[in-house]
Amino acid sequence: MNIGILTSGGDCPGLNAAIRGVAKASYEMFDNVTIFGIDDGYHGLIHGNYTKMEPYQFSGILTLGGTIFGTSRQPFKEMRNIGEDNIDKVKSMVENYEKMNLDCLVTIGGNGTHKSANMLSDEGLNVIGLPKTIDNDLWGTEVTFGFHTAVDIATDVIDRIHTTASSHGRVMIIELMGHKAGWLNLYAGVAGGADIILIPEIPFEHHKIIEAVEKRTVSGKNFSIVAIAEGSISKKESAMSAKEMEEYRKESGYFSVAHRVADKIQTKTGFETRVVSPGHVVRGGSPSAYDRILSTRFGVHAAELIKDKKFGRTVALENNQISSNKLSEVAGKLKLVPKDCEMVEDARRLGISFGD
């Protein structure tokens, strides 16, 4: 039994735990198994960069952040395009799969990774996916590993901002990752006690944000905490085309939505307003206990799918049980925050504003 494993896209806590889960379970389930670690995601599969692994190399990585195999972004929309290097990427991946004499390729990644995995499955390769992303935006699974750790870190950032915000009487805006989905910002915002939460799924109005800040001031609060996802947009922007939005943002003089909102608040209210962006900090470091368990269980289930020869699937958590879905049903579908979901409604009942 020959198994290839790659990690693709953005890194997150739990990748090494998932790799370990696949490997250790495979060594237990199969009498004779060889595992190939593929370097830097699909880039390694395209260029034939991989290593024949030994069992000892999977020891001591459960708590390690990042990925021992390395990762990179290989945009799905460019997979079938032949660039200046004159490499047929899909053909090369198939050839290297065959060169390793693989019985299965395990791809660990987010939405783009799953689209490419489904493409390779359509090419006739045996592929199994594992869902990771701090955005928690993969369709078909209740949660992706990496999400809970990122929420913990982001919540800690908001906790710490509270003390400096109250000390200086400022409006503090924390800009978190989340280009299309606001799960991370929503959960961290509620857990961290943010007063205003802005997510991509609920377009905001600047005057509503300002009203929320001023309402707190009237009630005797000398500071406000705004948790904002990087992909949040105003209602005005939501009606624009991509080109119109680009021009509109250029005119504002600010690249990030957090700085545009900060400028509006300070200009309209006179309150000192600051922006904090933890950026890649939220995806780094050791995984939480929850993510160690989840990613390990995902890895074990992947090995079981290989044993049962159930390929073309991706592992999932459904009703708190580990299961799997067809890659074709998951690839390309985002799980966004419903505007009327229970989490949003509970936040509103707490008096949290979504700027709408």
Within 10 A of 254 (CB to CB), how many other CB atoms are there? 15
Beta-strand pair 127-131/50-52: unpaired
Angle at 166 between CA 161 and CA 171, to 5 degrees: 70
Q: Beta-strand (E) ranges in the chain?
A: 2-7, 34-38, 50-52, 104-109, 127-131, 171-176, 196-198, 224-229, 273-276, 313-318, 321-326
- The one catalytic residue in 135, 137, 152, 291 is 135
Q: What is the largest CA-CA distance in the chain?
A: 70
Nearest to 203 by CA among 234, 158, 243: 234
Report DSSP state, residue 288: P
Q: Where are the alpha helices (DSSP H) in 70-146?
A: 89-99, 111-122
Dig out the tokens for 36 from the structure.
């190939």
Report DSSP state, residue 40: T
| Annotation marks residue 346 as catalytic | no
State the Cα–Cα distance between residues 356 and 198, nearest whole angstrom: 9
Decide if 313 contacts 129 (C-beta within 8 A): yes
Residues classed as catalytic: 135
